[in-house]
Homo-oligomer: A and B are copies of this chain.
Amino acid sequence: MVKIADLETPALIVDLDIMERNLARVADYARQRNLRLRPHTKTHKTPAMGARQVALGAVGLTIAKVGEAEVMLGAGSPDLLIMYPVIGRSKLERLMRVARQTRLTVSMDSLEAARQLSDAASEAQVNVGVLAEIDVGMGRVGVAPGPELVELARGMLRLPALTFEGISFYPHIKMLDDEGNAQLKAVSAMIDCALAGLRREGIAVNIVTGGSTPTLFDSHRFAGMNEIRPGTYIYNDRSVVSVGACGWEDVAARMLVTVVSTAKKDHMIIDGGSKTFSSDRLPLAGEVTFGLIEEEPDALFHKMNEEHGYVDMSRAKGRFQVGDRLRVIPNHICAAVNLHERVYGYRGDTVEQVFVVEGRGKLQ
């Protein structure tokens, strides 16, 4: 039996009890509220985790890139949703090989992306679902929920080998305080507007898919939304805690690191930097730090280079020696997972299962 104490650092470790509780809680919530659950796999990038989500009742899995879809076929999901326009002949040919093995839907905000997909699907003699993406306030992708949406949906309906399934969006609500609740109402109004516009044209809508981890347990409050795509909830992280969407006790993932230098007074260096954690900061402003050191929450992990984490110990009570091991809760677990070949699942002090992050670094 491999013990956590035997692992080389830095290592990404996951408390399996907490992870299983997170998976079950969200599956239960979706079932009770009659919401389809299509978890985003960008957080774990691991077919074994996708398979667990499907076993707990997920209707399918959400994916960002074709390379991740190829890997995630291993989860045995009957349905994959690519929440990203797939552009270019070579990528579309790969995607059609995926479409021959499972039901596939792709979300996009342009007729150009729809045309390319239709051409590829026609040639491959498969049918692919499409979602028209609307912008509900994030300003990233998505058409406006008015005439632009109707035009996009109409165009999709005219294209061969595609089935228009409905609309998709990402509610960019960071925190459900008063302002967040007002935003939630505004998003609901935009969904209403989008659905009314399509209804007026007689365009049938099966799927209204949204949801994010910060708003997860308020998903039933979004008007008309019948599907959610949370990702981070499987592991959670400091960002999710910082916006009040889970407690520290719900964070399953930690970075196991070693102290490698204490040469400078009131300061230490750990063997995890931006190559281990990513350089992502917390979504809300404030002091810039890159993780919470569990053994010493008053230590300030304030700076990183690729292989060095700088920790200011001036406010901390204890002191550590070269060779001591610490556990750090990362800011953004999705970005961190992408940097690791393996995730170590543990219970107590024992590593129970090693998961290979098969979808790591699949950029295309």
- In the complex, are the beta carbons of A321 and B112 less than 8 A apart? yes
Are the C-beta atoms of A263 and B135 separated by less than 8 Å? yes
Task: State A334–B304 Cα separation when bound (angstroms).
Answer: 14
Instruction: Encode contact with B along A86-100: 1 for CB under 8 Å, 0 otherwise.
Output: 011011000000000
Flag A251-276 by CB within 8 Å of B: 1 or 0 each.
00000001011111001010110111
Cβ contacts under 8 Å, A88 to chain B: 8-9, 258, 323
Top 4 A-B pairs ranked by shortest CB distance? A279-B279, A8-B364, A112-B322, A141-B261
Q: How far is the CA of A308 from the CA of B227 in the complex (A)?
A: 23
Is A189 located at the chain interface by the 8 A CB criterion?
no
Q: Give the interface SS of chain A, mostly helix, strand, loop or mixed.
A: loop
Specify which of B65, B262, B310, B361 is in contact with A339 (CB 8 Å cutoff): B361
Taking a contact as CB atoms under 8 Å apart, the answer to whether A65 and B307 are in contact is yes
Contact with B along A1-14 (1 / 0, CB 8 A): 00000101111000
Q: Is the CB of A260 within 8 A of B84?
A: yes
Specify the chain B residue showing the minimal Cβ separation from A148: B263
Interface status of A238 (Cβ within 8 A of chain B)? no
The closest CB in chain B to the CB of A94 belongs to B8
Which chain B residue shows the least CB distance to A170? B305
Question: Is residue A294 within 8 Å, beta carbon to beta carbon, of the partner chain?
Answer: no
Q: What residues on B are CB-neighbors of A85 within 8 Å?
A: 260-261, 322
Docked complex Cα distance between A49 and B280 (Å):
29
The residue that A364 contacts in the complex, of B11, B262, B269, B306, with Cβ under 8 A, is B11
Given A64-B306, A87-B258, A260-B84: A341 touches B322 (CB 8 Å cut-off)? no
Given the known inter-chain contacts A269-B141, A322-B113, A363-B10, please indicate yes or no for A274 contacting B278, CB distance below 8 A.
yes
From residue A279, how far is it (CB to closest CB) to chain B in Å? 4
Residue of B11, B84, B140, B274 near A280 (CB, 8 A) is: B274
A305-341, CB under 8 A of B: which get 1 and which 0? 1111010000000000111000000000011001111
Tell me the complex Cα distance, A260–B116, Å.
12
Tell me, rounded to whole Å, the shortest Cβ–Cβ distance linking A240 to chain B: 16
Q: Which of B9, B90, B110, B139 contacts A6 (CB 8 A)?
A: B90
Tell me, yes or no, whether A142 is within 8 Å of chain B by CB. yes
Binary flags per residue of A108-140, CB closer than 8 Å to B gives 1, else 0 = 011011001000000000000000000100011
Q: Is A36 engaged at the interface, CB distance under 8 Å to the other chain?
A: no
Q: Is the CB of A262 within 8 A of B110?
A: yes
